[in-house]
């Protein structure tokens, strides 16, 4: 009788630490390598991508990190999982576009058309005309912001009523939905930043030509990439991370050839080659300071194997966004924040011992040196971060 292999929480944390939380001597040399280690960087908060990369790099320099993040050679900013903005390695952009981007674009485009019809103007032909004009302007200029496009593309500045009759009824420019759909559909990418390193204002630029991959093949490949960076994980983890349906998730796992394993929390999946390979050495414990919305804590829906549920109220906001976290030996042990004077304050929510405390202090000094005179405030603030920053 075949026995389902078992992977304990201790073994999962060792995998997490080895892949995502490299200690001294094992860190990445470039921003691209740091990004590849976690598949993609959450880019909703402009400061996060800098800090996520720096935490995983050996001797990071703020200016060089910024150049890699924005030069659009090895890394791209694109709308991907759960309609969220990510910085992704250019090599896997075609997979993300087919597996999650284009489905998101179709949903947003249909929603825009419904709102236009409900507001009494515009149809599919009108939207197509505005789309052509928008893309022509971006190609001619090389880059353009939403405001610049709305000023010259007829109709793009039109506004529609959103949630009519509701207490939260509002008016919104169609540019918001149209440009999102064009980006998710692979026509546009976020270009150069307008403002400082924490600014979320970007110009739009023409997307590079990407190979066309059938959606089922792309979903299977994305599963393999996710398992390679985050596995083992459950169906619920993968469904949450991608935004797929349960049916799509199960089919993609099957198409990817994923193998079932027993976890302390139930049934998980891994790549078959991981079960066939010799066990990797457990990495030496190390400390890491990760920023808010970092891809590591946002990689699983079920986080109990690395996060004490009792610490959730301090580390998450009401919308489920995680704040800055302190890690030791593959587990979240506290949180941190930058004060107005630039110093980093941190607090342990559990006592991991003298060695860990010394390592956390050294890592805080390292990240403070990376920041230098620069200041940032997370876009989504959490109770512990607010307290430490005050």
pLDDT tens-digit profile, the chain (390 residues): 468 899 999 999 999 999 999 999 899 999 999 999 999 999 999 999 999 999 999 999 999 999 999 988 899 999 999 989 999 999 999 999 999 999 999 998 998 888 888 877 778 888 999 999 999 999 999 999 999 999 999 999 988 877 777 787 788 888 988 999 999 999 999 999 999 999 999 999 999 999 999 999 999 999 999 999 999 999 999 999 999 999 999 999 999 999 999 999 899 999 999 888 767 778 899 999 999 999 999 999 999 999 999 999 999 999 999 999 999 999 999 999 999 999 999 999 999 999 999 999 999 999 999 999 999 999 999 999 999 999
Residue 35 lies in a domain: no
* Boundary of a domain, candidates 206, 232, 267: 206
Structure tokens at 345: 């304050």
Domain total of the chain: 2
Residue 140 lies in a domain: yes
pLDDT at 2: 65
Residue 211 lies in a domain: no
Give yes or no: residues 198 and 291 share one domain: no
Residue 63 lies in a domain: no
Residue 66 lies in a domain: no
* Boundary of a domain, candidates 206, 225, 246: 206
CATH of the domain at 170: 1.10.10
Q: Which positions ≥6 away from 147 have C-beta within 8 Å?
A: none
Give yes or no: residues 99 and 197 share one domain: yes
Residue 72 lies in a domain: no
pLDDT at 103: 94
Please, where are the H alpha helices in the chain? 9-20, 31-37, 46-55, 62-70, 93-96, 102-118, 124-141, 146-152, 174-184, 215-230, 235-242, 246-255, 272-276, 312-315, 354-371, 383-389
Residue 267 lies in a domain: no
pLDDT at 111: 87
* Boundary of a domain, candidates 206, 224, 240: 206
Residue 353 lies in a domain: yes
Give yes or no: residues 202 and 292 share one domain: no
Give yes or no: residues 98 and 202 share one domain: yes
pLDDT at 169: 74
Domain that holds residue 176: 92-206
Q: What is the CA radius of gyration of the chain?
A: 22
b/e burial code for range 127-138 (CB count within 10 A of at least 16 → b)? beebbebbbebb
Q: Which positions ≥6 away from 275 have C-beta within 8 Å?
A: 5, 259, 261
């Amino acid at each position: 009788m075949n026995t389902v292999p078992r992977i304990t929480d201790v073994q999962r944390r060792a995998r997490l630490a080895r892949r995502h939380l490299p200690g001294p001597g094992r860190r990445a040399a470039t921003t691209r390598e740091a990004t590849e280690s976690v598949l993609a960087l959450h880019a909703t908060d402009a400061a996060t991508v800098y800090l996520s990369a720096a935490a995983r790099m050996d001797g990071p320099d703020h200016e060089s990190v910024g150049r890699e993040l924005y030069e659009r050679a090895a890394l791209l900013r694109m709308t991907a999982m759960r309609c969220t903005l990510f910085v992704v390695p250019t090599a896997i952009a075609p997979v993300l576009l087919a597996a999650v981007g284009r489905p998101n674009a179709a949903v947003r485009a249909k929603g825009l058309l419904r709102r236009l019809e409900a507001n009494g103007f515009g149809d599919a032909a009108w939207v197509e005309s505005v789309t052509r004009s928008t893309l022509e302007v971006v190609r001619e200029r090389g880059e353009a912001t939403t405001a610049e496009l709305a000023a010259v593309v007829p109709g793009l500045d039109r506004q529609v009523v959103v949630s009519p009759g509701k207490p939260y009824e509002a008016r919104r420019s169609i540019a918001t939905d149209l440009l999102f759909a064009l980006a998710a559909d692979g026509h546009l990418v976020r270009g150069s930043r307008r403002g400082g390193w924490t600014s979320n204002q970007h110009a739009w630029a023409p997307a590079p030509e990407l190979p066309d991959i059938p959606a089922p093949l792309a979903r299977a490949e994305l599963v393999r990439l996710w398992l390679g960076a985050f596995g083992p994980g459950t169906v619920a983890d993968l469904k949450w991370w991608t935004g797929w349906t349960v049916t799509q998730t199960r089919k993609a796992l099957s198409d990817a050839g994923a193998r079932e394993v027993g976890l302390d929390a139930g049934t998980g999946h891994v790549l078959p080659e991981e079960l066939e390979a010799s066990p990797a050495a457990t990495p030496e414990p190390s400390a890491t300071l990760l920023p808010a919305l970092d891809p590591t804590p946002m990689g699983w829906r079920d986080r109990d194997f690395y996060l004490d549920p009792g610490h959730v109220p301090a580390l998450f906001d009401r919308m489920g966004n995680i704040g800055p976290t302190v890690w030791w030996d593959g587990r979240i042990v506290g949180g941190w924040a930058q004060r107005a004077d630039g110093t980093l304050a941190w607090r342990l929510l559990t006592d991991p011992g003298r060695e860990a405390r010394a390592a956390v202090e050294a890592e805080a000094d390292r990240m403070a040196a990376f920041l230098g005179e620069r200041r940032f405030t997370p876009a989504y603030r959490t109770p512990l971060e607010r307290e430490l920053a005050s």
